[in-house]
Amino acid sequence: MHITLEADYAVRIVQCLAQNGTRLDAKKISDDTGVTLRFSLKILRKLVSGGVIKSYKGTKGGYELAKEPGQITLADVIETVEGKYALARCVSEHDYQCNRNTDSCGICRFHKIYADISQLVQDKLNAVNFEELIK
Amino acid sequence: MHITLEADYAVRIVQCLAQNGTRLDAKKISDDTGVTLRFSLKILRKLVSGGVIKSYKGTKGGYELAKEPGQITLADVIETVEGKYALARCVSEHDYQCNRNTDSCGICRFHKIYADISQLVQDKLNAVNFEELIK
DNA sequence: CAGTAAATCTACCAGTATGGTATACAATAT
DNA sequence: ATATTGTATACCATACTGGTAGATTTACTG
């Protein structure tokens, strides 16, 4: 729903990779970001399966960005670890019975307000990429 | 942080009071909104101490809005039950060490991004009052 | 002034989400 | 072959959220 600690860590990690520009192993990332090794690994896996970064096994293995820093936005990273942003239940949960006070279309007027705000937040997060962030 | 179920209920309750325009007891409010009586009472107490509604004890007691519907905004109600909206930790928790990547002022650049978005959401929620909502 | 209908205060409980950890396994460079 | 790296799965503790209960206080009504 909102930006959890895990998502915050994920942003730090991607920023770390963007700033270094080379392949880094989990240990180095953990040291640089201050996120414990174990928890880093967990987040790194999510970022890999979300297509934000790429991983390499074995000696000399590690992690790299999957795209140019300029092609990765804050929204990409945050959504990867915690799903699409939604201000309120009725935005993300389609069948949530939010209120009896429905308009002529049977949709409560809060839906639109909350959905609009959620969209606004997503747009703002999408407008920031990691090329700007490492400058 | 975000809009919880409790805040959603609170909005329904205030809307119910705004729509009826008269003093209502908890039982009636519970029936109208579909929120259980006990949980309604809990939320109503928060709204009272937050100054959104007024309460009256004894027979013929109940709850009324403390102000005109047009003077009460969505933000008033939501903030009353769950505190000021903040997208991320570093916006609400002043001493949160969000990142090593600080700018010349010692403040990480995410602070500003997150704080701006949080403010935007607050503004949007403040722009909606209950006079519009009951039309 | 007694009785009843309301709200209030305090406390508790259960389910879920979040933050964090452990163990066993798979792949790769040298 | 082996050390070095990531992968998969599973688990645990704590905090937050949603929901409930009982005893108390206030005020209207007859």
Q: Which of A 58-87 lie inside 8 A of B, CB atoms?
A: 74, 87
Say how many residues make up chain A: 135
- The closest of B21, B22, B66 to B44, measured between CA atoms, is B66
Give the pTM.
Answer: 0.90
Looking at the complex, does the CB of residue B115 fall below 8 Å from at least one CB of chain A? Answer: no
- DSSP code of B102? B
The neighbouring-strand residues paired with A49 are none
Which positions ≥6 away from A77 have C-beta within 8 Å?
A7, A10, A11, A14, A47, A52
Q: Which two tokens stand for residue A78?
A: 């945050």
Distance CA B108, CA A45 (A): 25
Confidence of residue A101 (pLDDT cuts 50, 70, 90): low
Which residues on chain A are in Cβ contact (under 8 Å) with B121? 87, 117, 120-121
* Nearest-by-CA chain A residue for B91: A3
Looking at the complex, does the CB of residue A36 fall below 8 Å from at least one CB of chain B? Answer: no
Those nucleotides of strand D lying less than 7 Å from any protein Cβ are 3-10, 17-21, 25-29
Residue of higher predicted confidence among B112 and A129: A129
The neighbouring-strand residues paired with A54 are A64
Average pLDDT score over chain A: 90
Q: Which two tokens stand for residue A132?
A: 């700007």
Q: pLDDT digit string (tens) for A110-132?
A: 888 999 999 999 999 999 999 99
Tell me the C-alpha to C-alpha distance, in Å, between residue A33 and each of A9, A73, A78, B2, B70.
8, 19, 17, 27, 48
CB contact under 8 A, B89 and A117: no
Looking at the complex, does the CB of residue B135 fall below 8 Å from at least one CB of chain A? Answer: no
Q: Which two tokens stand for residue B81?
A: 């039950």
**Quick check: B74 and B128 in contact, CB under 8 A?**
yes
Residue at token pair 């909606």? B128
Q: Which two tokens stand for residue A135?
A: 């400058």
Q: Of A63-67, A86-90, A121-125, B39-43, where does mean pLDDT reach its minimum?
A: A86-90
Confidence of residue B45 (pLDDT cuts 50, 70, 90): very high
| CA dihedral over A97, A101, A107, A112, signed as positive or negative | negative
**Quick check: B74 and B126 in contact, CB under 8 A?**
yes
Looking at the complex, does the CB of residue A88 fall below 8 Å from at least one CB of chain B? Answer: yes
Distance CA A74, CA A81 (A): 11
